[in-house]
Amino acid sequence: MTKRAYNFNAGPAALPLEVLQQAQEQFVEFGGAGMSIMEMSHRSSIYENVNNETQSLLRELFGIPDHYKTLFLQGGASTQFGMIPMNLLSEGKTAAFVQTGNWSNKAIKEAKLIGKTAIVATSEENKYTRIPDLSELKLPEETAYLHITSNETIEGIQYSEYPNTGDIPLVGDMSSDILSRPVDVSKFGLIYAGAQKNLGPSGVTLVIIREDLAANSPKTLSSMLRYDTHVNNNSLYNTPPSFSVYMVNLMLKWIASKGGVSAIEQYNRDKTNLIYDAIDSSGGFYRGAADAASRSVMNITFRIHTEELEKQFIKESEAAGFVGLKGHRDVGGLRASTYNAVPLESCKALAAFMSDFQQRNG
């Protein structure tokens, strides 16, 4: 095999080499069935065991309480932007949002199509460079739920702590930092995440939902759009993205082998600190795009003082084996995504490249 790239893609993103190699070994035949897991019925006992084991691993690693259900759905987080208000935003209620960037804006846009919405806090005036102060958060009367985006991949900002909403359900889009750090799931009514950043390949979306919220799914909705449909059928109502769920299974076992979510959190901080240190010690050659207090441990956004140098940085980094360092087209600049599976060695290599690039162009 040729040398693997230094993969800093924002998603689909890096997967551990060990996981890829195990999947390769089991690709043609899985579980002694004489066929790949992609070829077998999702009603088979072999696949049902994978489905159940993956849920159990999630519960153990993420500390999911017994009165929550874990679902493996399709359509990505983008489908959840509409499915959540369809299920939770009833007549006369308001969906409240904290507006922190591109992905929260997309969630707001979709919810407006379903019912009444309110932006209760925003950092738009700061160009989404920080998480807004939520210490004196006031929610409208008859609030159905408060929605937050725990980590904004494009702007590179992340919540350090979550708001306490009392009896009002807190809904969290954790697509880009799920299982990257411990979370008190009991603070949330619903958590959702696309798998393609920290949990596995694209194709499956994780939903963690409190049982009482799922049970109240409106019976007027199409069956596929109701959470209770998937709860009552153990995520097997229709054909699931079976290979993606299997890959999530392997990824969860990999996280467990590394010491669990707390150990992964420290590993992620060690990786991220290497790159933030390269930015902060550059004397202004590099500039972090996010406010220091809101910096993401998953997506490091930064700039160089001229666009010409940024273009040169991208060109030279690609030639050196780095992938995915170009900032999102909406904001420009540079971005390194350091999700769970990005190796420490890749971050060390990037920090060294940044130092060398500065010495040659500073």
Query: pLDDT by residue (tens digit) across 110-145?
Result: 999 999 999 999 999 999 999 999 999 999 999 999
User: Which run of H or of E encompasses 103?
Assistant: helix 102-112
**What are 14's two structure tokens?**
């890096």
pLDDT higher for 3 or 79?
A: 79
Over pLDDT 70: what percentage of the chain? 99
Does the pLDDT at position 13 exceed 90?
Answer: yes
pLDDT digits (tens, 9 = 90+) for 275-312: 999 999 999 999 999 999 999 999 999 999 899 999 99
So what's the pLDDT on residue 1? 58
pLDDT digits (tens, 9 = 90+) for 325-339: 999 999 999 999 999
Phi and psi at residue 44, in whole multiples of 5°?
Answer: -70, 155
* Distance in angstroms (rounded) separating the CA atoms of residues 21 and 42: 24
> Strand, helix or coil at 157?
strand
Does the pLDDT at position 359 exceed 80?
Answer: yes
pLDDT digits (tens, 9 = 90+) for 153-180: 999 999 999 999 999 999 999 999 999 9
Is 66 designated active site? no
CB 334, CB 301: distance < 8 Å:
yes
CB 77, CB 173: distance < 8 Å:
yes
> Strand, helix or coil at 32?
coil
Is 348 designated active site? no
Over pLDDT 90: what percentage of the chain? 98
Q: How confident is the model at residue 215 (pLDDT cuts 50, 70, 90)?
A: very high
Structural domains in the chain, CATH included, are: 18-257 (3.40.640.10), 259-361 (3.90.1150.10)
Catalytic residue among 197, 228, 254, 326: 197
- Starting at the edge strand that comes first in sequence, how are the strands of the sheet with 68-73 ordered? 68-73, 205-210, 190-194, 170-173, 143-149, 94-99, 116-122
* Distance in angstroms (rounded) separating the CA atoms of residues 108 and 234: 29
Average pLDDT, the chain: 97
Residues with Cβ within 8 Å of residue 166, at least 6 apart in sequence: none
Catalytic residue among 69, 103, 177, 326: 103
So what's the pLDDT on residue 3? 86
Catalytic residue among 69, 173, 254, 271: 173
For the segment 63-78, the average pLDDT, to the nearest whole number, is: 98
Is 103 designated active site? yes
Does the pLDDT at position 49 exceed 70?
Answer: yes
pLDDT digits (tens, 9 = 90+) for 216-225: 999 999 999 9
* Distance in angstroms (rounded) separating the CA atoms of residues 223 and 227: 9
